[in-house]
């Protein structure tokens, strides 16, 4: 294999200069061996200079794409970026999260040896960097999936899709993908200007699974950090409420967009999939609307008010840290806190890299 392991990190950015700089700082410090393609959909002027790209000891390609307001044509930059990337394997990353190069290399080697697979995904690990008064208290880690997520191995595409729904598996978005698979996937997502961005991750997952087998690797290749208030989904929710979206004509059209790309060879499988698909869409609709109503509840507002006061008093995150450490943590070492027992053994094997994230963040306030 080549020195970069035929892998490119697709780093999508949008007007979060501090986070992008921080991501690149960590990539330098951890000696990321892959090519990095920065796909910029924002409108910050002179950003290449502000990111100090020329002096970075990284193999970076930067491309500025058209800036759209209000999340219009959201996937245009993804599709155009994948078309420009030369590597056979692409890992999708955001600039507030962390990648683990050694695990990504293992996934690349797996895809080299197993041509039927469109994607190799590690354990969906969620992280929360708990700070108080500017001091890092811990890196809290948990498993997004309550049960062990299994690979999708059927050679029949529609069977893989059915299995994905039946086992209620988690996303394969932040994972290592074959370029040819992502081209097909982002071509679908770029085919329309979505009113409902909430459904797009599901479309991505279904397309990737249809394109080939999916390997669930027993390692952590990515930590998705809890920065909900700064996420695209949180900002999109402020722009368009889900209850409003669900009443439009576009809602059903967008939910069923993936069906245009699936060829069913068995009528029974088609009916099973459509039934599971409709049930998931309806379940998601109900939960999201309930979530919106819940936010307006007086007790929820009171809880947020208490959190605000405790945060101002600089004790909220100290309380949160103490609660997790005393009552939730399965493992704690050098400020690395493992909340889910299912992750403990895996994190212990690669503990030094998790400790490095804690140490790295000491010089940052976010």
Dihedral over Cα of 282, 286, 287, 289: its sign? positive
Segments making up each domain of the chain, as ranges: 7-294, 298-363
CB neighbourhood size of 256 (10 A): 15
C-alpha 58 chain-centroid distance: 22
Q: Which of 238, 1, 245 is nearest to 107 (CA)?
A: 1
**Whether 233 contacts 107, CB under 8 Å:** no
The span from the CA of 131 to the CA of 44, in Å, is 28
| Whole-number Cα distances in Å, 363 to 4, 22, 336 | 29, 10, 17
Q: Which of 176, 143, 132, 61 is nearest to 322 (CA)?
A: 132
336: exposed, middle or buried (C-beta count within 10 Å: 0-12, 13-18, 19+)? buried
Q: Which of 285, 265, 288 is nearest to 277 (CA)?
A: 285
Beta strands in 148-277, from DSSP E residues, in sequence order: 176-178, 213-216, 222-225
Say which CATH topology domain 7-294 has. Spore Coat Polysaccharide Biosynthesis Protein SpsA; Chain A (3.90.550)
**pLDDT one digit per residue (tens) for the chain, 366 residues:** 346 799 999 999 999 999 999 999 999 999 999 999 999 999 999 999 999 999 999 999 999 999 998 889 999 999 999 999 999 999 999 999 999 999 999 999 999 999 999 999 999 999 999 999 889 999 999 999 988 899 999 999 999 999 999 998 899 999 999 999 999 999 999 999 999 999 999 999 999 999 999 999 999 999 999 976 666 767 778 888 999 999 999 999 999 999 999 999 999 999 999 999 999 999 999 999 999 999 999 999 999 999 999 999 999 999 999 999 999 999 999 999 999 999 999 999 999 999 999 999 999 999
Unique residue bearing structure tokens 């951890």 = 30
| β-strand pairing of 35-40 with 7-13 | parallel
Spatial neighbors of 295 by CB under 8 A, at least 6 apart, are none
Paired with 223 in beta bridges are: 98, 125
Q: Which of 165, 78, 174, 75 is nearest to 127 (CA)?
A: 174
Nearest-Å Rg of the Cα atoms of the chain is: 21
DSSP three-state, residue 154: coil
Spatial neighbors of 67 by CB under 8 A, at least 6 apart, are 41, 42, 43
Look up residue 237 and give its two tokens: 């929710």
Model pTM?
Answer: 0.95
The dihedral formed by the CA atoms of 167, 172, 175 and 179, expressed in degrees to the nearest 10: 120
The span from the CA of 123 to the CA of 144, in Å, is 8
- Which region, left, alpha or beta, applies to residue 115 given φ > 0 means left and ψ of -120 to 50 means alpha? alpha
The span from the CA of 190 to the CA of 76, in Å, is 5
């Amino acid at each position: 294999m080549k020195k970069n392991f035929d892998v490119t990190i697709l780093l999508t950015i949008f007007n979060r200069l501090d986070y992008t700089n921080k991501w690149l700082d960590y990539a330098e410090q951890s000696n990321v061996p892959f090519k990095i393609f920065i796909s910029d959909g924002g409108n910050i002027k002179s950003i290449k200079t502000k990111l100090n790209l020329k002096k970075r000891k990284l193999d970076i390609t930067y491309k500025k794409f058209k800036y759209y307001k209000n999340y219009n044509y959201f996937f245009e930059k993804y599709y155009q970026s994948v078309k420009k990337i030369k590597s056979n394997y692409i890992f999708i990353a955001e600039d507030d999260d962390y990648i683990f190069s050694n695990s990504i290399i293992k996934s690349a080697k797996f895809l080299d040896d197993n041509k039927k697979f469109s994607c190799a995904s590690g354990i969906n690990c969620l992280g929360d960097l708990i700070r108080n008064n500017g001091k890092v208290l811990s890196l809290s880690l948990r498993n997004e999936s309550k049960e062990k997520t299994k690979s999708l191995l059927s050679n029949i595409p529609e069977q893989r899709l059915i299995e994905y729904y039946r086992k209620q598996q988690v996303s394969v978005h932040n994972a290592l993908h074959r370029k040819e698979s992502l081209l097909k996937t982002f071509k679908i997502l770029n085919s329309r200007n979505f009113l409902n961005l909430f459904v797009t991750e599901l479309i991505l997952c279904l397309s990737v699974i249809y394109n080939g087998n999916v390997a669930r690797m027993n390692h952590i290749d990515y930590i998705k950090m809890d920065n909900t208030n700064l996420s695209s989904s949180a900002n999109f929710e402020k722009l368009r409420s889900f209850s409003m979206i669900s009443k439009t004509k576009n809602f059903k059209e967008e939910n069923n967009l993936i069906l245009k790309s699936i060829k069913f060879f068995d009528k029974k499988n088609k009916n099973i999939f459509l039934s599971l698909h409709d049930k998931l869409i309806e379940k998601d609709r109900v939960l999201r609307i309930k979530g919106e109503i819940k936010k307006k509840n007086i007790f929820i507002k009171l809880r947020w008010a208490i959190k605000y006061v405790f945060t101002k008093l600089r004790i909220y995150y100290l309380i949160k840290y103490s609660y997790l450490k005393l009552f939730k943590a399965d493992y704690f070492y050098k400020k690395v806190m493992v909340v889910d027992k299912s992750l403990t053994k895996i994190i212990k094997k690669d503990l030094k890299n998790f400790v490095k994230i804690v140490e790295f963040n000491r010089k940052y306030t976010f």
